[in-house]
């Protein structure tokens, strides 16, 4: 009995101890539950809410770019885009691999976009825009197997003319690290924003970009949107109106391409096959104010290729030298201007008293004023005989102008300064024109000076001195002299207007999306050139003779010069290792000029051929004239 009582008391003590432990454990659990619900419940509720809702930027539509008549050159269109949430896709190799196959993108490209610019892994990233219907259907059917992947409708850039005016308009694309380094306010750009990459899209980025909005969305556990909670609307960018006339631009490009292909069917003068005609440019200015009516460059590219990201295949094509560099805007790249430049030594000679309207130099086909060891040959081997300035311009005499150069060089050596260079600078050569386009390599041209030659040949001292031959090369537009088609157009505009050197412009005004004027760009004269009017008149008479009976007479044989007189100058530039560059610079009608037209074609022979023929065809369009039954190939 005593033993049994002892055992009962021991069990009772143990039961009490267990009960106490159970009560303590229950107290801890209850305390923890109270802490979670009361003390941090609100924190977890907020976190849950954050996991349920996402803030998504609403991309603003970029402003339109329109021609002078309000025709759309660059617009926007809705496109279906594939988007992905980095937090759900980056670590899922199966999803990345499947997206790579269906979107025709490398896995590396997809991962690069998902980690682009250190963006938050909770934001959606656009992988590809403008997908086709087949891809859209496939992704819609596979939405449950591809967590974090969605289809969204976004605005994308639209270039309705394809490659029309591509070098002027440029293109836009997703902002990159390189873009952020060059802009003043990189913090204002979201990683999914578009930015102007080239052309006017780049120059007027601040007007075109607009202001992004915001969209609060509810999403499910797979990161897919369920519903929109709230939207703050974006504000579209401003619209840019250009001086470009769409119809004239189309014609300029059409004519340029036509005559380039025709040139490739003409046997070259060197007897080594046909002309290569690797590319060319056309510039048409409004003679009343210097506005650019057309600026064509061939070959060109289609900016639509960059919408949604350019493919590797297209990119390889565009940078392949075999296709003659379609990115290059040849209208603002530098070339030897050849005889189109001869108006400058003519003006310099008249102003400096080296010659007058009655001065006659005799051309016998060869010129030896630099010595017997340095003969200079005229392109017309029999020689042009006695010529005054008007006739020298008419026939582009290769002796008359070297004689002017010799006299100017003598004055230089006597301390008069670099006269030929000074007059070149006066007419805008060797400096940027000021046109509202991003500068390209060589877009300022080059006027060689004594200082330039010393610096250029600092490691070659025997060639560092300025020689008489340098001046002679320069007066015929060769040697180290370079100019762009736009600069030559501006030069001939200054002659046509009797001394007004304009700053060429493309944009004329900026308006908000709802039509409110933001800014207007008025024509601007850079400087008034103080050359005597009688000298301009004299040179113009020589330029008129070029089309009537000179080096461009064949090209203008069927053109009604009696009704619409054209003043022009051919040029045939020699380029080491290449065929000649063809030039024709002109304006019309003489007496009341309306248009300046410059045509340049690489490796296409003499300027009186395809360049002059293309010019007369453009004039026919500008003045509403019918085309002749058969064109000439020069």
Provide φ and ψ at 282, rounded to 5°. Answer: -130, 135
Q: Is 469 exposed, middle or buried (0-12, 13-18, 19+ CB in 10 A)?
A: middle
d(CA 139, CA 429): 57
Cis peptide before 233 (omega within 30 of 0): no
DSSP SS3 for 616:
helix
End-to-end CA distance of the chain: 138
Question: Residue 451 class from Cβ within 10 Å (0-12 exposed, 13-18 middle, 19+ buried)?
Answer: exposed
Which residues, 6 or more positions from 413, have their beta carbon under 8 angstroms from its beta carbon? none
pTM of the predicted protein model: 0.87
- Specify the CATH superfamily of domain 54-242: Penicillin-binding protein 2a (Domain 2) (3.90.1310.10)
- The percent of the chain in helix, strand and coil, each rounded to the nearest 5, is 40, 20, 40
**What interhelical angle do 468-475 and 419-426 show, nearest 10?**
30
d(Cα 589, Cα 571) in Å, to the nearest integer?
A: 21
Q: Identify the residue whose tokens are 């997809």.
A: 110
Residues 151, 126: Cα–Cα separation, whole Å: 9
Q: How many CB atoms lie within 10 A of CB 336?
A: 24
For 246-622, CATH number? 3.40.710.10
Contacts of 550 (CB under 8 A, 6+ apart): 393, 394, 395, 396, 570
Contact 163, 300 (CB under 8 A): yes
pLDDT at 560: 97
343 CA to centre of own chain: 30
Residues of the chain with pLDDT under 70: 1-20, 22, 27-53, 55, 116-123, 220-225, 629-634
Residue 186 confidence (pLDDT): 82
Ranges assigned E (strand) in 187-329: 194-196, 213-219, 225-232, 239-242, 280-286, 292-298
CA torsion through residues 338, 339, 340, 341, sign: positive
Instruction: Give the residue extent of every domain in the chain.
Output: 2-39, 54-242, 246-622
Say if residues 581 and 602 touch (Cβ distance below 8 Å).
yes
C-beta of residue 406 within 8 angstroms of C-beta of residue 295: no
Q: What does the DSSP assignment read for 478-519? A: -TT-BB-HHHHHHHHHHHHTTSEEEE-BSEEEEE-TTS-EEE
Phi and psi for 507 in degrees, rounded to 5? -80, 135
Compute the distance between CA of residue 242 and CA of residue 594 in angstroms, rounded to an integer: 18
Tokens of 263: 């040139």
What's the pLDDT at 221?
62
In eight-state DSSP terms, residue 465 is: S
What is 82-120 written as a DSSP string?
EEE-HHHHTT-HHHHHHHHHHHT--HHHHHHHHTGGG--
Q: Report the alpha-carbon distance of residue 384 to residue 391 in Å, rounded.
A: 9
Q: Which pLDDT value is given to residue 633?
A: 42
Cis peptide before 589 (omega within 30 of 0): yes
**Inter-residue contact 341 to 191 (CB < 8 Å):** no
Strand (E) or helix (H) holding 566 = none
- pLDDT tens, residue by residue, 46-77: 444 545 667 677 778 999 999 999 999 999 99
Query: What are the residue ranges of helices labelled H in 529-579?
Result: 533-549
DSSP 391-452: HHHHHT-TTHHHHHHHHHHHHIIIII--HHHHHHHHTTTTS----SS---TTTT-B---HHH
């Amino acid at each position: 009995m005593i033993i049994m009582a002892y055992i009962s008391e021991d069990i009772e003590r143990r039961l009490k101890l267990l009960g106490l432990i159970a009560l303590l454990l229950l107290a801890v659990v209850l305390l923890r539950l109270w802490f979670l619900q009361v003390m941090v419940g609100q924190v977890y509720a907020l976190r849950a809410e954050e996991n349920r809702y996402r803030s998504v930027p609403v991309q603003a539509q970029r402003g339109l770019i329109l021609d002078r008549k309000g025709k759309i050159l660059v617009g926007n269109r809705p496109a279906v885009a594939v988007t992905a949430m980095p937090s759900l896709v980056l670590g899922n190799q199966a999803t990345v691999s499947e997206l790579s196959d269906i979107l025709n993108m490398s896995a590396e490209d997809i991962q690069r976009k998902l980690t682009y610019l250190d963006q938050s892994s909770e934001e959606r990233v656009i992988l590809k825009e403008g997908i086709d219907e087949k891809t859209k259907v496939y992704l819609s059917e596979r939405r449950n197997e591809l967590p974090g992947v969605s289809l969204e409708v976004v605005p994308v850039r639209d270039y309705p003319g394809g490659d029309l005016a591509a070098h002027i308009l440029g293109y836009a694309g997703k902002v990159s690290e390189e873009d952020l380094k060059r802009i003043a306010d990189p913090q204002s750009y979201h990683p999914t924003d578009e930015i102007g990459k080239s052309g006017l899209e780049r120059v007027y980025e601040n007007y075109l970009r607009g202001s992004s909005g915001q969209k609060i969305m509810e999403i499910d556990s797979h990161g897919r949107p369920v519903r929109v909670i709230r939207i703050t609307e974006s504000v579209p960018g401003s619209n840019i109106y250009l001086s470009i006339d769409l119809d004239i631009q189309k014609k300029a490009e059409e004519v340029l391409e036509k005559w380039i292909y025709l040139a490739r069917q003409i046997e070259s003068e060197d007897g080594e096959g046909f002309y290569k005609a690797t590319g060319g440019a056309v510039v048409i200015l409004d003679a009343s104010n210097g506005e650019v009516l057309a600026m064509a460059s061939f070959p060109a590219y289609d900016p639509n290729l960059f919408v949604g990201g350019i493919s590797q295949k297209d990119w390889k094509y565009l940078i392949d030298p075999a296709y003659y560099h379609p990115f290059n805007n040849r209208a603002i790249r530098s070339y030897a201007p050849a005889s189109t430049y001869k108006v400058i030594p003519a003006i310099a000679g008249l102003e400096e008293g080296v010659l007058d309207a009655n001065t006659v130099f005799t051309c016998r086909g060869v010129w030896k004023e630099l010595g017997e060891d340095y003969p200079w040959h005229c392109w017309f081997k029999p020689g042009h005989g006695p010529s005054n300035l008007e006739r020298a311009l008419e026939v582009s005499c290769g002796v008359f102008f070297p004689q002017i150069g010799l006299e100017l060089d003598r004055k230089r050596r006597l301390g008069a300064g670099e006269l030929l260079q000074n007059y070149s600078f006066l007419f805008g050569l060797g400096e940027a024109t000021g046109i509202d386009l991003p500068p390209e390599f060589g877009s300022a041209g080059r006027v060689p000076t004594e200082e330039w030659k010393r610096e250029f040949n600092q490691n070659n001292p025997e060639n560092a001195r300025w020689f008489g031959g340098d001046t002679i090369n320069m007066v015929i537009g060769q040697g180290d002299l370079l100019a762009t088609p736009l600069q030559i157009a501006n030069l001939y505009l200054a002659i046509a207007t009797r001394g007004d050197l304009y700053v060429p412009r493309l944009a004329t005004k900026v308006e908000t999306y709802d039509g409110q004027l933001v800014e207007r760009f008025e024509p601007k004269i850079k400087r008034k050139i103080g050359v005597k009017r009688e000298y301009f008149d004299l040179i113009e008479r020589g330029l008129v003779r070029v089309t009537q009976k000179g080096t461009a007479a064949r090209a203008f044989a069927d053109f009604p010069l009696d009704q619409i007189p054209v003043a022009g100058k051919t040029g045939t530039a020699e380029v080491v290792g290449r065929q000649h560059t063809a030039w024709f610079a002109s304006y019309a009608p003489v007496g009341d000029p309306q248009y300046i037209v410059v045509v340049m074609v690489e490796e296409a022979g003499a300027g009186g051929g395809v360049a002059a023929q293309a010019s007369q065809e453009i004039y026919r369009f500008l003045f509403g004239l019918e085309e002749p039954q058969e064109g000439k190939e020069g």
